[in-house]
Amino acid sequence: MEINAKLTRIIRRRTIALVSKEEGLVVIVFNDHSRMRVKVAGGPTVNMLGEGKIESAAEEGAELTLVSEDGRMAILQVAAPGSSVTVTDKNGHVEYAG
């Protein structure tokens, strides 16, 4: 599994306030009101992040793994590797797309 350095740099140490799941989409809202939208093929295979802070994001094929500072993780099956993740700031400006 390879660390996604750009995504990690953007979301590291942001605290998760809310995780919303609907068909084909997982939205993580951070306490600074920024959002990460992940288009998924199915729901999370593992979601153990809770409301902790993000430490890193890694990708391998169609899997996106988010790891919290305390070691908990969420593994998401992305719909289209390389074009399923968007992070926006509180004003809706895109910080990351990939």
For the stretch 54-91, pLDDT in tens is: 999 999 999 999 999 988 888 999 999 999 999 999 99
* Mean pLDDT to the nearest integer, 29-57: 85
pTM of the model as a whole: 0.90
Give the span between the Cα atoms of 25 and 37, in whole angstroms.
7
pLDDT grade for 20, boundaries at 50, 70 and 90: confident
Q: What is the mean pLDDT of residues 9-23?
A: 92
Query: How far, CA to CA in Å, does 64 sit from each of 3, 32, 80, 86, 93?
Result: 10, 22, 11, 13, 22
pLDDT one-digit tens code per residue, 23-38 = 899 999 999 999 999 9
